């Protein structure tokens, strides 16, 4: 059993890298692939950089060069669903590429020739349970003063719809336009649906964890590096530790 774990930025997987043992680094196409043992399981960790192309090439390389049984993405996202707050978790169920538009040749969002608008992830009950377990023990796992810096009080998890595109979303108008087109959307980011497409094409089970870092509004420019480093990467470590103990 070997698991590929992708983040878009190094900070998002910093804590996982700290835990990795027997590390072998493979340098390919400007990326470092860290192969090793994480919480007793064989893994390959890689940060893809931002955007659909960067994450798609990374995923393709990962699948072709390492014999993987599944891929998990972990990272941050902007909220579209008004019920979501900073620190909440979205486990992706359906993913759309919100900037894919080959209309009138294909319906909007449909990926040409794949006959596919949204990508469904595998239904990963172990990951849901691992996340619930993390949230139940949140105060022991995330230092209160760090959570307070980002006003995280009682975070929650939903299974939801993720939109991906090559745009950083930071305006009310843009949020409204996305929600008008895909009303069930919960959060927005720049990689998930591209990775989902590659995994679909190679038939690799894919799961995605997105931690809400901002509300995709004019004030979206929070200290992302700090959030990814001090919050998101600790979430990833705790959730995946639980997950690996179950599978
Ligand atoms: N570090 C940057 C911002 C990172 S945001 C800064 O200092 O300003 C870009 C990354 O976070 C992408 O990997 C994307 O997937 C995710 N992301 C978080 N919030 C987002 C938003 N509002 N719109 C698009 N992507 C977002």
Tokens of 50: 């931002």
* Predicted pLDDT at 137: 97
pLDDT confidence of residue 222:
76
The continuous run of DSSP H or E covering 4 comes out as strand 2-7
**pLDDT value at 220 more than 70:** no
Ligand 1 neighbourhood includes 171 CB (under 6 angstroms): no
Mutation pick for ligand 1 pocket among 76, 92, 232 (CB with most ligand atoms within 8 Å):
76
User: pLDDT confidence of 216, banded at 50, 70, 90?
Assistant: confident
d(CA 49, CA 36): 21
Asked if the model's pLDDT at residue 186 lies above 70, the reply is: yes
What does pLDDT average to over the chain? Answer: 96
Does residue 218 have a pLDDT over 80?
A: no
Beta strands 157-164 and 89-97 are: parallel
Residue spans of the domains in the chain: they are 2-246
Do 44 and 4 touch, CB atoms closer than 8 A? Answer: yes
Give the percent of the chain with pLDDT over 90: 94
pLDDT digits (tens, 9 = 90+) for 51-109: 999 999 999 999 999 999 999 999 999 999 999 999 999 999 999 999 999 999 999 99
Output the pTM of the full model: 0.97
Centre of ligand 1 from the C-alpha of residue 209, in Å = 15
Q: Is the CB of 54 under 6 A from ligand 1?
A: no
Give me the residue label for tokens 């993720």: 162
Answer yes or no: is the C-beta of 168 below 6 A from any ligand 1 atom: yes
Q: In this predicted model, which residue has the larger pLDDT, 52 or 117?
A: 52
Does residue 11 line the site of ligand 1, with CB under 6 A?
Answer: no
The correct CATH number of 2-246 out of 3.40.50.300, 3.30.420.240, 3.40.50.1580, 3.40.50.261 is 3.40.50.1580
Place of tokens 């038939």: 203
> If we measure between CA atoms, which residue out of 175, 12, 212, 203 comes closest to residue 98?
175
Segment 32-46, tens digit of pLDDT: 999 999 999 999 999
């Amino acid at each position: 059993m070997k698991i590929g774990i992708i983040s878009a930025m190094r900070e998002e997987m910093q804590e996982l890298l700290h835990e990795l043992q027997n590390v072998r680094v493979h340098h390919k196409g400007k990326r470092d692939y860290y192969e090793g043992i994480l919480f007793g399981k064989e893994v390959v960790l890689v940060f893809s950089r931002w955007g659909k192309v960067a994450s798609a090439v990374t995923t393709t390389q990962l699948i072709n060069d390492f014999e993987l049984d599944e891929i998990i993405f972990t990272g941050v996202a902007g909220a579209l669903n008004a019920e979501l707050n900073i620190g909440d978790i979205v486990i992706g169920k359906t993913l759309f590429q919100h900037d894919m538009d080959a209309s009138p040749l294909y319906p909007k969002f449909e990926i040409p020739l794949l006959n596919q608008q949204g990508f469904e992830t595998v239904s990963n009950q172990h990951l849901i349970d691992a996340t619930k377990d993390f949230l139940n023990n949140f105060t022991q796992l995330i230092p209160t003063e760090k959570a307070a810096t980002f006003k995280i009080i009682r975070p929650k998890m939903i299974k939801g719809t993720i939109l991906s595109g090559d745009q950083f979303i930071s305006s009310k108008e843009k949020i409204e336009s996305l929600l008008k087109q895909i009303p069930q959307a919960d959060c927005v980011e720049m990689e998930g649906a591209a990775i989902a497409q590659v995994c679909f094409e190679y038939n690799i089970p894919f799961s995605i964890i997105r931690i809400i870092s901002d509300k995709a509004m004019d004030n979206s420019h929070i200290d992302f590096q700090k959030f990814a480093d001090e919050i998101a990467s600790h979430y990833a470590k705790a959730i995946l530790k639980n997950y690996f103990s179950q599978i």
